[in-house]
Structure 1
Amino acid sequence: MYSLLLAIIYIAFISLGLPDSLVGAGWPAMQKDLGVPVAFAGIITMIIASGTIVSSLASERVTRRFGAGAVTAVSVGMTAAALIGFSTSGAFWTLCLWAIPYGLGAGAVDAALNNYVALHYAARHMNWLHSFWGVGASISPFIMSWAISSGRGWSSAYLTIGVVQAALTLALLLSLPLWGTARRRGQGGGAEAAGDGAPPTEDGEHHRTHVPLSQALRIPGVLLILAAFFAYCALEATGILWAATYLVAERGVGAATAAAFASLFLLGITAGRFLAGFVADRIGDRQLIRGGFAVVGIGALLLALPLETDLLALVGLVIAGLGCAPIYPAIIHSTPGNFGRRSSQAIIGIQMAAAYTGSTLAPPLFGAVSTWTGMWILPFFLAALVILGLVMSERLNRLVAAREGAA
């Protein structure tokens, strides 16, 4: 039963990634059919991001009341309904309306699933699960390409993935009894459940106690990890959006080559998380975070080197993607160990909000900065975020170590 639920969660993470690339992949065709400016894509993504932030902040209260399984099933159901709604939309304003339940569902399921895995599964599964998210995010552009090239139109891609999400919703509803079984096994303190460095599970009554947002923010070290998570997601989103433009504008790389290596940045994250899963339990979350930021810094340095050859810049982009890979899963998985299992759902919800805030604000901020300075500043912008994330995470490590030593 425990393994069956894990398999369902893996499928859920693929499903989580499926819709994330659809707007970007389909927008050229969508924009033309809807008759709106190109920039209107930002309105849709901002509505989705706002919904994810709101539902992430509310996830602790909702999950404690209804359980991670029910929240996941309902949230995926909301996402399925929104995607099917997208497929029936013939006007831009209806897309904006359907973006609301899409964002609310995505944020809630992200926070609930991440906390459940952090509490009940080992570090390797957290890395592999996020690698499976990358698989889903990589598949959806191909689905959109197939739908458009076959003459079915962009709406067919949304309908296809919406139906997949609906089928997953049914599977999640049927699996609800398994979630309680896995939770009870996780509270037994097994190595598989506790994972890497997690403290023993507290009394079950404590898990039903609401941790208010204001209380969670006052826990020592929470603001540090929020800053680190913000920095990581900001550099990841900035790299994904602007890497190809930097290679073309500043390094003179051909557009096709730049596009290929920009996609390798995302594929590097996916492959890196898969590889990190094999060593995560031995290395530990702290070393994965520390090493990940350091490797991203090396990649940014290679991007910045003013050499005639472009090879090091291209290699630097791939290295940066590999460095990004373990940071997100390790931050999430370390949350129960750093702050206690009772507070983990509240803190992970806030972390998700910080993540979405960073990934939403940083790319346009860099775009504004680069208009004044030039695109050459990208490696230095990424390096500044690396330094911020590394400093904040190391300060948290010292704080946790001091607390553990005093205990």
Structure 2
Amino acid sequence: MLLLAIIYLAFISLGLPDSLVGAGWPVMHEDLGVPVSFAGGVTFIIAVGTIVSSLASERLTRRFGAGVVTAVSVAMTAAALLGFSTATQFWMLCLWAVPYGLGAGAVDAALNNYVALHYSARHMNWLHSFWGVGASISPFVMSLALSADGDWSAAYRGIGLLQIGLAAVLLASLPLWRRVAAIHPGESTTEDEGAEMNEAAGAGGAAGDAAGHVSIRTALRIPGVPSVLLAFFAYCAFEQTAMLWGATFFVADRGFDASTAASFGALFILGLTAGRFLSGFFADRVGDRMLIRGGFLLGAIGAAIVALPLGQVSFVGFALAGIGAAPVYPAVIHSTPANFGRANSQAIIGIQMAAAYTGTTIMPPLFGIISGRVGLWLLPFYLLALALLGLAMTERLNRLPRRSA
């Protein structure tokens, strides 16, 4: 339980930096003397780093253990945030975005797999709810820094120092990680798990090398993996597109004023955070599959309500979409060991993280390009298509036998 409390703090830490760039960019781009559109360059570098480290997470975690990978990754993001606070030119932000992305992807994959192996579904939901707490706190930290003396770097410095403190706690807790892994084995590859990997890989070839490594190519040949990757891609694209374009949609298509639209757009994030907290109370009884199915269905219904010409009532659909989407991410992650085997879970979760970051990197800008030609009215239909795609892929996965109980 002590380790679980530390992991909860780590999930808050995961969310803390995620909103800083967006919250501070209106002032940052002026101080750095670059156009407002340059924010995309920073976020793109971070996204590439997260994809690379997610794909490498299986090797790193198998070699060093989840505790070491988590502690070092948090230390890397802390160093990057402190580097952001010292940046006086745009290229410096781009430079520090590299360790930021590499650290964020590795810790995300390692932590998610560790929780999926050793803790229940309710904790997975609550942990991701705590990520939302962290993501909600950082804009207020930036707002406080800007209102105090207009110094955006103070927000990065403060969050960076918090991350350093957490990295120290994680390093001190390394014996706890080993103790929990010993009580609930699942990180190392035993002979039985090696046989399980070979069975999961099927006729496609051996599951890994002598050290138990599961290659990306081998993981992709496991039945059901392509389906879950496409479902995860669709879900994360759904989430990020709604968060990025929601307020703009309510202004440009529904004619609301900017302050009202901002509050309506925030309903999705609030629904996401509250939904994950509430899901934790019944996740173990309902099961991951029902949570995923119900989440995609409710997300689709919410998007359909937004599409209807209901005036201000359409914001209810946006909140409903957030609540529906809430359990999907943690449930997909938590079900990975049961669907594909414990020995394969770290490799597959790493690829899932890469698919997630690819979806959040590509699909929101793609909607921006399409809506620039068609119109922002397309947003609810775009979200509906993503929700239905995710539902179809997870139902396809559900028809396959699970690899381990």
Q: Same fold (TM over 0.5)?
A: yes
Read off the aligned partner of 2:120 and give its amino acid letter: A
- What secondary structure, in the 3-state scheme, does the structure 1 residue paired with 2:309 have? coil
What is the alpha-carbon distance in structure 1 between the residues aligned to residue 124 and residue 67 of structure 2? 17
Alpha-carbon distance in 2 for matches of 1:131, 1:205: 32
Contact conserved, 1:122 with 1:281, CA < 8 A, in 2?
A: yes
Paired amino acid for 2:128: H
Indicate the residue corresponding to 2:286 in structure 1: 283
Deviation per residue, 1:256-287 (Å, 9 max, x gap)? 11100111110110010000000100000000
Distance (Å, rounded) in 2 between the aligned partners of 1:364 and 1:205 = 41
- Measured in 2, the distance between the counterparts of 1:203 and 1:335 equals 20
Equivalent residues in 2 for 1:279-358, closer than 5 Å: 279-307=282-310, 309-311=311-313, 313-358=314-359
**1:261 counterpart residue number:** 264
Whether contact under 8 Å (1:248, 1:258) holds in the other structure is: yes
Alignment of 1:237-256 (within 5 A): 237-256=240-259
Closer, same or farther in 2 for the Cα pair 1:376/1:364, shift >3 Å?
Answer: same
Task: Name the amino acid aligned to 1:4.
Answer: L
Which letter maps to 1:46?
A: F
Distance 1:147 1:10 in 2: 26
Deviation at 1:400, TM superposition (A): 2.5
Instruction: Tell me the alpha carbon deviations over residues 157-213 of structure 1, each in whole angstroms, 9 at most, x when there is no partner.
Output: 00000000000000000000000111111139xxxx9xxxxxxx9658759611111
Deviation at 1:60, TM superposition (A): 0.2
Q: Could you say if the C-alpha distance between residues 214 and 383 of structure 1 is closer, same or farther in structure 2, counting changes exceeding 3 Å?
A: same
Residue type of the partner of 2:215?
A: P
1:343-391 per-residue CA deviation (whole Å, 9 max, x = no partner) reads 0000000000000000111110000110111111111101110111000
| Aligned partners of 1:83 and 1:162 also within 8 Å | yes
Aligned to 2:375: 374
In 1: Cα distance, 2:157 partner to 2:259 partner: 30
Instruction: Give the C-alpha shift of residue 252 in structure 1.
Output: 1.6
> Which residue pairs with 2:166 in the alignment?
168
Could you say which residue in structure 1 is the equivalent of 2:98?
A: 100
The structure 1 segments of at least 4 consecutive aligned residues displaced by more than 2 Å after TM superposition are: 201-208
The amino acid that maps onto 2:220 is L
SS of the residue corresponding to residue 178 of structure 1 reads helix
Once residues 274 and 244 of structure 1 are traced to their aligned partners in structure 2, the CA distance between those partners, rounded to angstroms, is 24
Tell me if structure 1 keeps the 8 A contact 2:193–2:343.
no
> Does residue 40 in structure 1 map to residue 38 in structure 2?
yes
**1-side partners of 2:51 and 2:386: how far apart?**
21
Distance in 1 (alpha carbons) for counterparts of 2:368 and 2:239: 15
Residue in structure 1 matched with residue 153 of structure 2 by the alignment: 155
1:60 aligns with 2:58: yes
Q: CA 1:94–1:380 in 2, change beyond 3 Å: closer, same or farther?
A: same
Q: Secondary structure at the match of 2:399?
A: helix
1:397 equivalent to 2:395? Answer: no
Task: Say whether 1:215 aligns with 2:218.
Answer: yes
Q: Distance in 1 between matches of 2:255 and 2:306?
A: 13
| 1:120-141 residue CA offsets vs partner (Å, 9 max, x unmatched) | 0000000000000000000000
Find the aligned partners of 2:399 and 2:193 in 1 and give their Cα distance: 31
Query: What SS does structure 1 have at the residue aligned with 2:256?
Result: coil
Corresponding position of 1:144: 142
Whether contact under 8 Å (2:193, 2:342) holds in the other structure is no
Match of residue 8, structure 1, among 6, 9, 31 = 6
Secondary structure of the 1:251 match is coil
Q: Structure 1 residue 152: deviation in Å? A: 5.4
1:383 aligns with 2:384: yes
Aligned in 2, Cα 1:185/1:203: closer, same or farther, shift over 3 Å? farther
CA distance in 2, matches of 1:121, 1:76: 21
Secondary structure at 1:310 match in 2 = helix
Tell me what 1:196 maps to: none
Q: Which runs of 5+ in 2 are unaligned?
A: 198-210
TM-score using structure 2 length: 0.94
Superposed CA RMSD in Å reads 1.7
Letter in 2 for 1:354: A
SS at match of 1:399: coil
Counterpart residue identity of residue 158, structure 1: Y
Q: 1:202, 1:341 within 8 Å by CA — same for their partners in 2? A: no
For residue 318 of structure 2, what is the amino acid of its counterpart?
L
Taking the aligned partners of 2:233 and 2:50, their CA distance within structure 1 comes to 15
Opposite residue 100 of structure 1, the aligned amino acid is: V
When normalised by structure 1's length, the TM-score is 0.93
**Matches of 1:95 and 1:341 in 2, distance apart?**
38
Identity score, percent: 68
Q: Which residue of structure 2 aligns with residue 198 of structure 1?
A: none
Query: Does residue 232 in structure 1 map to residue 235 in structure 2?
Result: yes
Q: Which residue of 1 aligns with 2:203?
A: none
204 and 96 in structure 1: CA distance in 2 versus 1, 3 angstrom threshold? farther
TM-aligned CA distance change 1:109 to 1:17, over 3 Å: same
- Does structure 2 retain, via aligned residues, the 8 Å contact 1:75–1:108? yes
Structure 1 unmatched runs, 5+: 194-200
Residues in 2 aligned to 1:296 and 1:375: alpha-carbon distance in whole angstroms: 19
Q: Distance in 2 between matches of 1:52 and 1:337?
A: 25
